[in-house]
Amino acid sequence: MGIVCLIIGLFILMAMCMKGIHVFIAVFVTSLFLATTAWITSPGTINPLDTILKVYTAGVGGYFGNFFFIFVLGAIFGKLTAISGAADSVASFIIGKFGQKAVIPSLVAACAILAYGGVSVFVALFTVYSMMVSLFRKANLPRRLIPAVYFAGAGTFVMIMPGSPQIQNLIPMKYLGTSATAGLVPGMLTALFQVTLVVLYLSWLFKRVRANGEGWQGDEKSAKAGKDNATRTLPHVVVALLPMLVLLVVLNILKWDPAIALFSAIIAALVVYLRYLDWKAIVSNLAAGTMEGVMSLFNTAVIVGFGALVMTLPAFQQSFQAIVHSGLSPLMVTAISVGALVFISGSGSGALSVAMPLIASMFPATVVDQGALHRVATMSCMSTTPPFNGLIVTVLSVCGVSHKEGYGPVGILTLAIPLIAMCFMLLLYAVLPASITAFGG
């Protein structure tokens, strides 16, 4: 009965998020439902009031404190790349090199480089959206596929690549003592495999769209968005990339703390983008970036609190123990447990923050290579993304596309293909020698 209630709670959460209800309200209502039904179905094992007031709030507060600087500094860095025109410069350069005849590859590459360069996936969305609108309109491609192209570049292989400064690749470091390049060889091979699947799928998708006679359907607002940056003076692409390179070097070569790496990138951006920043508005812009980071952190933290609450439910504990004692390998246990939490909570980073302390305590370095755990956990948190995931909801909303219109291709790119890639990564760890898989940890 407890499992049934957990599934019902998941559908309640999914329905509320799909209706556009704020994530905090959706999570709170679902948490109240799950705590109450657990108290009814398993008397004496759980106190609903304590579960909400103590377990849930402790989960929210713990995540907020642990990752405050990463979210805030990351948002400030993203803000600087946006207001200076640096992100636009990088995207425009790539699109210019590929040309109008290769609209889709150019946009995918632009999104991927921005994300791997440390630009928040939310910031990258607003950076490339105007160019995507313009290019889709000129190429007569349907607007409903803009979200799919965005996720193909910024939300698939880049998120799981070794060395990525995205939060999904940083969280395991805190609990496993690994570096951002952990699982270098399997991670890169899996990323290459995933890129191949993404390209093949997009090629098939757009051939089908053209064969069906689908074309651009926009409005005046969308047309204006494609021209917003036409007269703006942008920094040279080399100048634009320098702070991003600083971030990658400090994080992956010097192997300093992610917060220090982000702070270093911010200082570099303030110096390098000096002439491209409106210094009269710099304080307000930095304040806006800070608030964006805090809001992103809050929205993720409330999901983490939900995950922490779910972990205390008898139904979840029984299911999790069944997975742990199933005889599966530590990597399989990690993949399944993280993936399940992602689908339940709707947040990859939230699921990692809930699962990693438990995984780290169960599988120390004497049992399994910590770099392998890191890479599998990062891959798994990107392989079961549900429709109510915050980024998916945001991207569809910004692009003016409903779930009915746009989620199909997005689901293939963020759920089906990553699941196949997850299986590929597990296969690599099964067949490659330990001397290769442990490299880069």
pLDDT in the model for residue 305:
85
Q: Pick from 46, 66, 65, 68: which is nearest to 55 by CA?
A: 46
HSE (CB half, 13 Å, CA atoms) of 22? 8
Task: Tell me the per-residue pLDDT of 208-245, one tens digit each, with 9 for 90 and over.
Answer: 998 998 888 765 544 454 455 555 688 999 999 999 89
DSSP letter for each residue of 163-179? T--SHHHHHHHHHH---
Residue 88, both tokens: 């636009």
Amino acid residing at 439? F
Q: Pick from 80, 41, 189, 210: which is nearest to 140 by CA?
A: 210
Q: Pick from 314, 367, 358: which is nearest to 336 by CA?
A: 358
Are 440 and 185 in contact by the 8 Å Cβ rule? The answer is: yes
Tell me the C-alpha distance between 60 and 297, whole Å. 10
- Rounded to an integer, what is the distance from CA 189 to the centroid of its chain? 20
Q: What residue ranges of the chain have pLDDT lower than 70? A: 99-100, 123, 126-127, 130, 218-232, 441
Q: Pick from 44, 41, 36: which is nearest to 1 by CA?
A: 41
**For the chain, how big is the Rg over CA atoms in Å?**
22
pLDDT in the model for residue 228:
52
Angle (nearest 5°) at CA 375 between 161 and 301 = 90
3-state DSSP of 92-119? HHHHHHHCHHHHHHHHHHHHHHHHHCCC
Task: Tell me the per-residue pLDDT of 327-357, one tens digit each, with 9 for 90 and over.
Answer: 889 999 999 989 988 887 777 888 898 889 9
Residue 75, both tokens: 């948002």
Tell me the C-alpha distance between 107 and 132, whole Å. 7
Specify the pTM.
0.78
Q: Pick from 229, 78, 146: which is nearest to 400 by CA?
A: 146
pLDDT in the model for residue 226:
47
